[in-house]
Amino acid sequence: MTEVVFVLAASLVFGIGVWGLLIAEHLLRKLLALNVMSSSVFVIMLVAAGGNASPDPVAQALILTGIVIAVAATAFALALMISIYRETGRASITDEDDDDR
């Protein structure tokens, strides 16, 4: 029963992340939505690995590796966002000021 609750909660959080990814125009909000989505995937992986019984150590190692990769990818995306902001002067992806081309 608790596995179902965790999967439903993680699915809801994943849906919120997808919604934030589609709606947000600011790059930092899009990055935050991607991190929310990846966190929900980690929860689903943990439940699939056997949350109540003795958990599979291989699955736990994969989740830990995924978390480390997500942190590195977030740092890289933040560096790219700062670079885009310095180059364009804005951190959103709207096409408001494209008439100067």
Domain boundaries, the chain: 2-88
Mean pLDDT of 7-22: 94
What pLDDT is attached to residue 101? 46
Phi and psi based region of residue 82 (left: phi greater than 0; alpha: psi -120 to 50; beta: remaining): alpha
What pLDDT is attached to residue 57? 84
Mean pLDDT of 88-101: 69
Share of the chain above pLDDT 90, in %: 54
Report the run of H or E that residue 43 belongs to, with start and end: helix 27-48
1 token code pair: 């029963």
The structure's pTM equals: 0.79
Q: 2 with 52: CB under 8 angstroms?
A: yes
Give the CATH number of domain 2-88; options: 1.25.40.850, 1.10.287.3510, 3.40.50.410, 2.40.30.10: 1.10.287.3510
User: How far is Cα 5 from Cα 43, in angstroms, rounded to an integer?
Assistant: 11
HSE value, Cβ hemisphere, 13 Å, CA-based, for 23: 8
Identify the CA nearest to 43 among candidates 24, 20, 17.
Answer: 17
Range with the poorest average pLDDT among 45-49, 61-65, 94-98: 94-98
Kindly tell me if the per-residue pLDDT of 82 is higher than 80: yes
